[in-house]
Amino acid sequence: MSSQVCSKCRRIIGPGDLYYSLLIKVSAGFDGVINIKKDKIDLKEEFEKVKSYPEELLNEEVFKEYKFTLCPRCKEIYCANPLNLPLGDPAQGN
Ligand SMILES: [Zn+2]
């Protein structure tokens, strides 16, 4: 096994050293409700619009995956506040 590098601090992680894999998956949620603002929707027109977008861009709108390697210190920092919320934010439960 060759050395790896922490994705955050760039520290070298040697063979056998402790490290963490961070996998972040972001996917579009769907609550079953489709909001249509226009009175009439031209399905053909909408389909043509969608067809003109690059496929990768459409895929990224729906699902995106990130993979990182973290050293133990960066893992602790990440886990303490994954969304980088301001300290004392009620959503953090502090
Ligand atoms: Zn690190």
What spacing in Å lies between the alpha carbon of 9 and ligand 1's midpoint? Answer: 4
What spacing in Å lies between the alpha carbon of 16 and ligand 1's midpoint? Answer: 16
What spacing in Å lies between the alpha carbon of 34 and ligand 1's midpoint? Answer: 42
Q: How many Å apart are CA 69 and CA 86, to the nearest integer?
A: 24
Cβ-based neighbour number of residue 6 at 10 Å: 19
As beta bridge partners, residue 82 has none
Task: Among 43-47, 64-68, 89-93, name the one with the lowest average pLDDT.
Answer: 89-93
Q: What is the pLDDT of residue 57?
A: 80
What spacing in Å lies between the alpha carbon of 6 and ligand 1's midpoint? Answer: 5
As beta bridge partners, residue 21 has 69
Query: Do the beta carbons of residue 1 and residue 61 sit within 8 Å?
Result: no
User: pLDDT band at residue 36, thresholds of 50, 70 and 90?
Assistant: confident
Q: Which of 2, 27, 22 is nearest to 72 (CA)?
A: 22
What spacing in Å lies between the alpha carbon of 27 and ligand 1's midpoint? Answer: 26
Model confidence, pTM: 0.69
Per-residue DSSP letter, 79? H
What residues does the ion ligand 1 have nearby, CB within 5 Å?
6, 8-9, 11, 71, 74
Got the DSSP string for 31-60? -S-----SSS--HHHHHHHHHHS-HHHHHH
